[in-house]
Amino acid sequence: MEVGDLQQRLAGLSFDASGDLAGHFGRHTATAVCAFQERRGLRVDGVCGLQTWAAVVEAGYRLGDRLIYLRQPMLRGDDVATLQRRLGALGFDAGRVDGIFGPDTQSALTEFQRNTGLVVDGVCGPATIHGLERLGKRQDEREPVTVVRETETLRRAPRTLHSRHVALGGNGLHAVLSAAARTLVEAGAKVTLVQHPDQSEQATEANASEADVYLGLFLVADREECSSAHYAGHRYESAGGRRLAELVQAAVPAALGVHDAGVRGMALPVLKETRMPAVLCEVGPPERVVTRSALLATVVTKVLSDWAAHPCDQADED
């Protein structure tokens, strides 16, 4: 990644780094990176690492810039997110709006092509874009059908932990996660532990297990606080993830005796790439977490039980 290229891409996204010399990563470029990270739901540190650079590249794509189709690795970008929103607004369920062209998006695209008399090839090119435009340019302002589907799926699911499948992930907390897994199994849940150090790999493992929900506990060494994040991006938010994050924050900080750092919608890999409601909870300091590991395991089970009972919001009815 060349600094000059980064500055040009940021400028194209309306993040001005022109106060620095071209090719020089100075204060203005760092400020622009921070502003971009904040806007995209990334960790705000002013460092353009692999995740931030990938997000910058993805943000530069507009619908029509390239052919969009299913391949490996999957295509990612704002053009894909725009396609997902437009298909969803028309009633074709492309899955969550995450900017990743996966099987759900391909299925929605081919169904749209079939219903509008286009060549059914699963490729979003000029003809498909023209078909979308013919149906109105304000489609992406409507709520995608996947929001309704996700909410209804959560509300119709069993209201207890019995037979629910939980994926527990994180880093540095094997003892806590193992204890939580045991208490969840005792409550009737099925549990899969996913502890690969890479967040994308954790998401892949959680997806492969077909879990109903993912909760990740990540240890932070330099803070006496607890914060929780759920997926939000491209004007889409996981209702089930937000609800779980709120429940985590209502219980875990008090149990650990640490500062409640709140809930935030983010687009971190483990949140963006999981296909189920997912929450990333960061807790610290290590010594506090370790000494209260048994209590934390019990609290995690209680939180997930409360979430299963009301997975969308406090007001949803049985």
CATH number for the domain harbouring residue 104: 1.10.101.10
Domain that holds residue 214: 159-309
C-beta of residue 303 within 8 angstroms of C-beta of residue 251: yes
Q: pLDDT tens digits, residue range 140-152?
A: 667 889 988 999 9
Q: Does 315 map to a domain? A: no
Share of the chain above pLDDT 70, in %: 96
With a cut of 60, say whether residue 317 has pLDDT above it: no
With a cut of 60, say whether residue 112 has pLDDT above it: yes
Whether residues 189 and 276 fall in one domain? yes
Query: DSSP assignment, residue 266?
Result: E
Q: Does 100 map to a domain? A: yes
With a cut of 90, say whether residue 51 has pLDDT above it: yes
In this predicted structure, what is the pLDDT of residue 318?
44
Does the model's pTM come out above 0.75?
yes
- Per the DSSP assignment, residues forming a β-bridge with 68 are 124
Q: How many domains does the chain have?
A: 3
pLDDT band at 106 (very low <50, low <70, confident <90, very high): very high
Q: What is the dihedral of CA 266, 269, 274, 278, to 10 degrees?
A: -40
In this predicted structure, what is the pLDDT of residue 139?
64
Q: Does 103 map to a domain? A: yes
- 251: enclosing H helix or E strand: helix 239-256
In this predicted structure, what is the pLDDT of residue 224?
94
Q: pLDDT tens digits, residue range 177-197?
A: 999 999 999 999 999 999 899
In this predicted structure, what is the pLDDT of residue 185?
96
Whether residues 108 and 168 fall in one domain? no
Q: pLDDT tens digits, residue range 84-95?
A: 999 999 999 999
CA-based torsion, 269, 37, 96, 106: positive or negative: negative
Please name which of 218, 228, 234 lies closest in space to residue 251, comparing C-alpha atoms.
228
Domain boundary among 151, 174, 196: 151
HEC string for 96-138? CCCCECCHHHHHHHHHHHHHCCCCCCCCECHHHHHHHHHCCCC
Whether residues 184 and 213 fall in one domain? yes
Share of the chain above pLDDT 90, in %: 88
Query: DSSP assignment, residue 68?
Result: B
Whether residues 174 and 248 fall in one domain? yes
Whether residues 83 and 106 fall in one domain? yes
Domain boundary among 124, 151, 178: 151
Q: Does 38 map to a domain? A: yes
Q: Does 123 map to a domain? A: yes
Whether residues 253 and 136 fall in one domain? no
Whether residues 90 and 106 fall in one domain? yes
Q: Does 29 map to a domain? A: yes
Q: Does 64 map to a domain? A: no
Q: What CATH code is carried by the domain that includes residue 32?
A: 1.10.101
Whether residues 131 and 190 fall in one domain? no
pLDDT band at 135 (very low <50, low <70, confident <90, very high): confident
Whether residues 93 and 176 fall in one domain? no
With a cut of 50, say whether residue 15 has pLDDT above it: yes
Residue 8: how many other CB atoms lie within 10 Å? 14
Q: pLDDT tens digits, residue range 290-304?
A: 899 999 999 999 999
Domain boundary among 151, 179, 211: 151
With a cut of 80, say whether residue 48 has pLDDT above it: yes
Whether residues 243 and 299 fall in one domain? yes
Q: Does 65 map to a domain? A: no
Whether residues 50 and 108 fall in one domain? no
Give me the chain's average pLDDT, please. 93
Q: pLDDT tens digits, residue range 235-287?
A: 999 999 999 999 999 999 999 999 999 999 999 999 999 999 999 999 999 99
The residue type of 29 is T
Q: What's the longest Cα–Cα distance across the chain?
A: 63
Whether residues 28 and 85 fall in one domain? no
